[in-house]
Amino acid sequence: MIKAAALALVAALTGYGIHALAQSRIDVRPAVTPMGSSSSNGVSFAWFYDSTLRTVYVCRAGQAVGNTLECKAKAALP
């Protein structure tokens, strides 16, 4: 009787373990989503949305050699 109960317990735990492992999924999504871009007079802008932080970023780049890419958080959404 004890062997049958132990066997049933091991079978139940094995089934639960397989079920728990089958439920884990990796959630893959892009870090930021591009929203749009524009350029005027040699200066380019691009807007990105970060869904995990609910923040909009704006990035600015110029045509000159010394200009670097600047990205700043524009607004945090509620």
Q: Which of 49, 38, 36 is nearest to 76 (CA)?
A: 49
Question: Which residue range is the domain that position 61 belongs to?
Answer: 2-76
C-alpha neighbours within 13 Å on the C-beta side of residue 31: 1
Number of domains in the chain: 1
Q: What is the mean pLDDT of each run of 10 residues along the chain (78 residues)?
A: 82 78 70 88 88 86 78 72
- pLDDT for 78: 64
- pLDDT for 50: 86
The pTM for the full model equals 0.52
